[in-house]
DNA sequence: TCTCAAATGTTACGGTATAACAAGGTGATT
DNA sequence: AATCACCTTGTTATACCGTAACATTTGAGA
């Protein structure tokens, strides 16, 4: 089962980082994993409420913030949503493509293009930190 | 005065595009211009209310949407804000650098790098829409 | 002038996110 | 074990962000 495998990797990752993947955080991670693409905080909240009876927004936002900080999720600002990071543990930077119609996500390697961007930003005096690039568009299926 | 100059350029730009920079839209553009960096919709709304007595959210959002569509402003998703486009007429896609320390914003031309990104995304079946790239980092002043 | 389409006004609501404080758990030290 | 400090989670309330839906006005062209 892919989810279990991911959770296991996430567990190891958190231990290495010296942070705790508590039961609640793991549960939220599982809920995000159960979707194939972008998930919204209030969707996770609704799911969480189904599973534990009651939950408030801060509960879910805190867990999501933790998971983003730990590098297990990415926040997709343009859609107010979250996606699973498919390169946990790898240090490479991702180019994340999000289909605005169906929410499908694809991750490519952004290293070459980020080299160019670093150079361009450097010319303006900016030192850009390690990060992912996110682009929205339409996937093949939604374009036809 | 820089603002008047920008407005004039915006006027010409809109005429060329066959769209109308109405009094309201011009007023909103002036309000955004009066800030040096990122502005939020509700800040503009408050300013607008000071100037005309009353205004509701849709009024300001419609004007902002128009100005973004016309290429006069960029939306900064990560900050729920808007900035003036400093490349009106040259390019409608910006590479927006935000200093995570002081909030300063710099805008470069993202067209070349987006060409590369479009090609890369196309290989994965994605047609990416017109958009801005936003990168966070530290500006020169904050690095010293 | 009349008509149609675009722009703006208005009301109401729904989605997104956080502040502030309370309560519970855990591990280290004594 | 008792205490303390710290992190995590619960809870309430509220602030912020954005849009749907419909009414009204405006303006350009027939």
**pLDDT reading at B130 higher than 80:** no
Q: What gap in Å lies between CA A69 and CA B25, rounded to an integer?
A: 39
Placement of tokens 């693409």 in the chain: A37
Where along chain B do the CATH 1.10.10.10 domains lie?
A: 2-84
Q: How far is CA A142 from CA A64, B30, B80, B121, B125, in A?
A: 28, 39, 27, 15, 10
**pLDDT reading at A73 higher than 80:** yes
Helix spans in B34-124 (H): 41-52, 57-69, 111-123
pLDDT, position B90 = 67
State which residues between 105 and 124 of chain A bring their CB within 7 Å of strand C.
Answer: none
Cross-strand pairs, A18 = none
Q: What gap in Å lies between CA B127 and CA B118, rounded to an integer?
A: 7
Cβ within 8 Å, pair A139-B126: yes
**Residue B85, token pair as written in the block:** 């486009």
Q: Least CB-CB distance to B113: which of A113, A136, A140?
A: A113
pLDDT, position B120 = 93
Contacts of B128 in chain A (CB under 8 A): 97, 135-137
Q: What gap in Å lies between CA B86 and CA B83, rounded to an integer?
A: 9
pLDDT, position B91 = 62
Contacts of B129 in chain A (CB under 8 A): 100, 136-138
Chain A closest-CA separation from residue B98 CA (Å):
9
Where along chain A do the CATH 3.30.1490.190 domains lie?
A: 94-143
Instruction: Please provide the DSSP assignment of B15-52 as one string.
Output: HHHT----HHHHHHHHHHHTSSS-B-HHHHHHHHHHHH
- Structurally, what CATH architecture does the domain formed by B2-84 represent? Orthogonal Bundle (1.10)
Handedness of CA A46, A48, A51, A55 (dihedral sign): negative
Cβ within 8 Å, pair B97-A143: no
Q: What angle do CA B23, B28, B31 make, to 5 degrees?
A: 125
Q: Is the CB of B90 under 7 A from strand C?
A: no
The more confident residue out of B132 and B28 is: B28
Placement of tokens 């905080």 in the chain: A41
> For the segment A32-43, what is each residue's pLDDT rounded down to a tens digit?
999 988 999 999
A68 three-state secondary structure: helix
> For the segment A3-52, what is each residue's pLDDT rounded down to a tens digit?
889 999 999 999 988 999 999 999 999 999 999 889 999 999 999 999 99
The CATH code belonging to domain B94-143 is 3.30.1490.190
Which of B75, B135, B139, B144 is the mutation pick for testing A, counting most A CBs within 10 A?
B135
> For the segment A88-129, what is each residue's pLDDT rounded down to a tens digit?
766 667 888 988 777 788 888 888 899 999 999 999 999 987
Contacts of A113 in chain B (CB under 8 A): 113, 116-117, 120
Give chain A's largest Cα–Cα span: 54
B41: the nucleotide nearest its CA (via C1') is: D17
Q: Least CB-CB distance to A136: which of B129, B134, B135?
A: B129
Q: Is the CB of B25 under 7 A from strand C?
A: yes
The whole-chain average pLDDT of chain B stands at 90
pLDDT, position A46 = 97
> For the segment B66-104, what is each residue's pLDDT rounded down to a tens digit?
999 999 999 999 899 999 998 877 666 789 998 877 778
Placement of tokens 């994965």 in the chain: B124
């Amino acid at each position: 089962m892919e989810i279990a495998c991911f959770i296991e990797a996430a567990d190891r990752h958190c231990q290495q980082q010296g942070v705790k993947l508590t039961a609640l955080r793991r549960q939220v991670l599982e809920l995000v994993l159960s979707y194939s693409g972008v998930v919204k905080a209030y969707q996770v909240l609704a799911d969480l409420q189904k599973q534990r009876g009651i939950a408030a927004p801060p509960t879910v936002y805190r867990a999501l913030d933790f998971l983003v900080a730990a590098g297990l999720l990415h926040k997709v600002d343009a859609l107010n949503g979250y996606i699973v990071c498919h390169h946990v543990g790898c240090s490479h930077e991702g180019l994340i493509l999000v289909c605005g119609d169906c929410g499908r996500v694809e991750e490519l390697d952004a290293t070459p293009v980020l080299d160019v961007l670093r150079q361009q930003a450097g010319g303006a005096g900016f030192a850009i930190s390690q990060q992912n690039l996110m682009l929205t568009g339409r996937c093949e299926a939604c374009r036809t």
